[in-house]
Amino acid sequence: GSLSQLEDTAPRIVEHPTDLLVSKGEPATLSCKAEGRPAPAVEWYKDGERVETDREDPRSHRTLLPGGSLFFLRILHGRRGKPDEGVYVCVARNYLGEATSRNASLEVAGE
């Protein structure tokens, strides 16, 4: 094949999320950037459970940004629960495989 022909490649994470400490009600972004051909689809998991974003639920306060980062409009934190606190990983997939980011913990400051 000619050099101009690009080969498909399995995903790799080029920007990993980092631990966050966020005040309740503040916005937050967990970074994740993946490369691959075809462009990988990114999903987030919190404590092993898949994170729903506004793609599944338009009312969600979590948005999957075009690059793969996870954006929180505001960190939810109530007496009854800490729905956003936990350990997050981002997973990028295409037909050649998948890549998983490092763990990043999100903690809510001050109670």
Q: pLDDT per residue over 78-87, tens digit each?
A: 777 888 999 9
Q: Which residues pair with 9 in a beta bridge?
A: 37
Specify the fold of 9-108.
Immunoglobulin-like (2.60.40)
Q: pLDDT confidence of 111, banded at 50, 70, 90?
A: low
Average pLDDT along the chain: 93
The reported pLDDT for the residue numbered 104 is: 98
Q: Which two tokens stand for residue 37?
A: 């051909």
What is the C-alpha to C-alpha distance for residues 25 and 98, in angstroms, rounded to an integer? 33
Q: Which of 59-63, 81-85, 99-103 has the lowest mean pLDDT?
A: 81-85
pLDDT at 36 over 80: yes
Q: Which residue has the tokens 């950037």?
A: 33
Mean pLDDT, to the nearest integer, of 40-58? 95
